[in-house]
Chain A
């Protein structure tokens, strides 16, 4: 079997997910032995044109130029993976969608040279093209990345399960930050897969992996206000931070 041709692309994002790809040290060499990375500007000097078997796309789409590029990438890749929360849901760049400013006002706030600037609200890539798999998280979980690569090599669906972070947190027997310390942890509505990384380090979950399946964000938002005394603006900020574009987290932001 020929090694699958892999490509990594970047749109509006911090490039942190791409950087983490290079951090899978314990298995990096084995992975490199199993795949053929054809395009990875961050890591390689020589990059090749498509088509590719699997394309990993990092970042949100927020300009017409990026959109055209994305459509081309979709045509070139048999399997398209949204890599990281920006590509999945819009991520941090999507905060601007809910800032209350118009696109033009936002452009003026950030840039001085506006004559060649065209931008629009930030969305995940599946707003525009079909996405086959999602690797959520800010940044992505490397275990999931390796699982996805193995599944692709085997030709099967990895069938990730996006249930709550709470479940993983309970497995680690962490003391509940919400109930014991009154911290506004979003683990109960956020998709697992990170191994409850933040709560295990005593930091409340920020919801970076986006909504868990059939989560009840509205109910949690009410608890933030009623039980923990968060201001409504704080609650809105929490739910609009990483995955404000999703209908699930929108319900949380709109519940208070």
Chain B
């Protein structure tokens, strides 16, 4: 298809913008002190189309710094109060930012399309402005994201002196260009020349002469990272100004009635210490080097692995905003000067699972507590049933997956399902320890109370692969909860599985879950249950093993041949379970682990559960160890 091109004389820009104003709210680059920002535009003269870059990218109009998700009243009722979204034009978006939006589209409009982002995106016209002059810190030529935008705009403009060459990118753009004169050949030539000259003048570049992802994986332990860590202030400015950063936190805010309020998401940053904080103040990424690398690697390789989109568009904002001048171009150059020895690396590829929901994936469904059973002093098993019969009937899940339990005014918490996927009862169980705000609020609830639940999310235990094989189940503490469904499934379909052994460890005897079910489990044919505790308080009778759960490996009869091992427990336990079995000659292909990270949204959006390129919420939480053992930062 030939490119449809027109010209817009600069003298007519005023009337062009005035025409847009009739139908749209117009935003464009305006001056703020010595810098520029995207802001509302009344007339064309307000705009500074000679701007180099803006403080925040136009991302702020789509993935807004604060986005209201829903209003609520009480703990489970969604209230009305959605603000309408108007039609907008963003004028003068540079190619890097156009590409940044295309990358964000992959995040927000892929699996579980985000209705808030979509609505803003659908109602906004993007008028791109190609770059005819390199900016100070940009390096877009490295990623082919500038100086010219190829796709992702409705109209694109190229400055050729006294006029702009206007290229049509969409039907909507074509309508807006109605009335413009067609571009002459010399206009097109002038446009091409201006862009080529700009490209030529771009000296900042990342070019490793091969695959950047492989290069970075090979140099994960390069000393440069420690040098950068000493500099890095962990202030998070780089992520705030990044056109492709999407991570956010979700917060419930209530008014003083404590009943009414709103659930809002707001930009977050992987550079922050609290980013991966969970209840009891456990932090999954406490080390600043790990966080700095997570950001750099995410931009330069993980994003590509996760979403098949470019994570860095070379806009240079992170460099411009950094008090310590930490610059990806400089970092990569320094590694290139003295790289670590090349080695074979395999880049992680996530499982492909696209879920399209018609409903808003953020809205929890009401579920009523049908039963509460006390397991230990601070752990209860709750049986839930969806209030809406349609939801109840269509709801199915696999063993090992999780739901998000929502209590409006407090928040959401990701909790594994502890009932059996093969039991068609219309209800499901969650076994929950009261440790944080949501779980403590749940512990105060009674039978008949209503909460919100959305899910199920993620991949569960490999029930199909386990068929015809022996199964070794290793659990620690509350980690038995997501495995209880597996035990029940094997019990139900006993002839489909081979030898079955359960190894369960807890800190103390009174911390053990599901104790009243052990007799029944022991009665399953060809099944053995081994128990162990770390410590037996004085005066408590204990007829089983004492020691960490790996001490049971010498007692079990399971052998590596034709066996699948599934484990869930604290990270430190799973680490030694995996290490010990590998030492005994087991293959990483037969080991399955259920990872826990700070899962917040469950739908591969908020970024909180990222572990290197892995989204624990959607790629897991159950992983084959062979798939993740080569993650650059390690697993445990």
Contact = CB atoms under 8 A, between A and B. Distances in A.
Interface of A: 27, 30-31, 33-34, 146, 150, 153-157, 159, 161-164, 166-167, 170-171, 173-176, 178-180, 187-189, 212-216, 219-220, 223
25 contacts: A27-B256, A154-B258, A156-B440, A156-B441, A157-B436, A164-B234, A164-B237, A166-B236, A167-B240, A170-B55, A171-B56, A171-B240, A173-B56, A175-B33, A175-B35, A179-B323, A180-B35, A189-B233, A213-B273, A214-B273, A214-B286, A216-B232, A219-B231, A219-B232, A223-B323
Contacts of A155: 440-441
Contacts of B232: 216, 219
Contact of A163 (B274, B324, B441): B274
Interface in B28-61: 32-35, 37, 55-56
B269 A163 contact: yes
Q: Which of B256, B274, B440 counts the most A-chain CB atoms under 10 A from its CB? A: B256
Given A154-B409, A161-B274, A170-B55, A175 B32 contact: yes
B166 interface: no
Contact of A154 (B234, B241, B272, B410): B410
Contacts of B254: 150, 154
Given A215-B233, A219-B231, A178 B34 contact: no
B287 to A, nearest CB: 9
A215 B237 CA distance: 13
B553 interface: no
B267 interface: yes
Nearest to A202: B33
B388 interface: no
A126 to B, nearest CB: 16
Given A188-B323, A223-B324, A167 B237 contact: yes
A215 B55 contact: no
Contacts of B56: 170-171, 173
B437 to A, nearest CB: 4
Contacts of A220: 233, 323
B584 to A, nearest CB: 39
A212 B258 contact: no
B321 interface: yes
Contact of B235 (A33, A153, A173, A188): A188
A163 B273 contact: yes
B519 interface: no
Contacts of B437: 156-157, 159
A189 B324 CA distance: 12
B281 to A, nearest CB: 9
A174 B34 CA distance: 11
A216 B234 contact: yes
Given A154-B254, A163-B269, A175-B32, A170 B240 contact: yes
B230 interface: yes
B230 to A, nearest CB: 7
A50 to B, nearest CB: 25
A31 B236 CA distance: 34
Interface of B: 32-35, 37, 55-56, 65, 230-237, 240-241, 249, 254, 256, 258, 267, 269, 272-274, 277, 286, 288, 320-321, 323-324, 409-410, 436-437, 440-441
Nearest to B320: A179
A219 B440 contact: no
Contacts of B33: 175, 180
Given A173-B37, A173-B55, A213-B274, A188 B286 contact: no
A140 B288 CA distance: 28
Nearest to B321: A176
Contacts of B236: 163-164, 166-167
B235 A212 contact: yes
Contacts of A156: 410, 437, 440-441
Contact of B234 (A150, A180, A187, A212): A212
A166 B239 CA distance: 11
A219 B233 contact: yes
Given A170-B55, A171-B240, 10 more contacts: A150-B256, A156-B410, A163-B235, A164-B237, A170-B241, A171-B56, A189-B233, A213-B273, A215-B233, A216-B231
Contact of B272 (A163, A175, A178, A216): A163
Contacts of A216: 230-234, 288
Nearest to A1: B258
Given A179-B321, A220-B323, A188 B233 contact: yes
Nearest to B266: A171
B321 A214 contact: no
Contacts of B65: 171
A205 to B, nearest CB: 11
A27 to B, nearest CB: 6
B274 A164 contact: no
Contact of B233 (A157, A162, A164): A164
B107 to A, nearest CB: 20
B441 A219 contact: no
A191 to B, nearest CB: 11
Nearest to A164: B235
Nearest to A190: B235
A150 B170 CA distance: 49
A197 B237 CA distance: 17
Contacts of A171: 56, 65, 240, 267
Nearest to A175: B33
Given A175-B32, A214-B234, A219 B324 contact: yes
B323 A178 contact: yes
Q: Which of A153, A161, A170, A212 has the most CB of B within 10 A?
A: A170
Contacts of B235: 163-164, 166-167, 187-189, 212, 215
B34 A175 contact: yes
Which one of B232, B236, B269, B320 has the greatest number of beta carbons of chain A within 10 Å?
B236
Best-buried of A153, A157, A176 by chain B (most CB within 10 Å): A176
A153 B254 CA distance: 11
| Most A-side CB within 10 Å, residue of B237, B321, B436, B440 | B237
Residue from B37, B249, B273, B320 whose CB has the most chain A CB atoms within 10 Å? B273
Contacts of A157: 436-437
A214 to B, nearest CB: 4
Contacts of B273: 163, 213-214
B411 to A, nearest CB: 9
B32 A173 contact: yes
A163 B55 CA distance: 20
A214 B288 contact: yes
Which of the listed residues B230, B233, B237, B256 has the most CB atoms from chain A within 10 Å of its own CB? B233
B572 to A, nearest CB: 22
A230 to B, nearest CB: 14
Nearest to A161: B274
Contacts of B241: 170
Nearest to B271: A163
A167 B267 CA distance: 9
Contacts of B234: 164, 212, 214-216
A175 B323 contact: no
Which of A154, A155, A166: most chain B Cβ within 10 A? A166
Contact of A180 (B34, B230, B249, B436): B34
A1 B634 CA distance: 50
B289 to A, nearest CB: 11
Contacts of A180: 33-35
Contacts of B37: 173
A169 to B, nearest CB: 8
Residue in A31, A178, A187, A219 whose Cβ sees the most chain B Cβ within 10 Å: A219
A188 B231 contact: no
Contacts of A146: 256
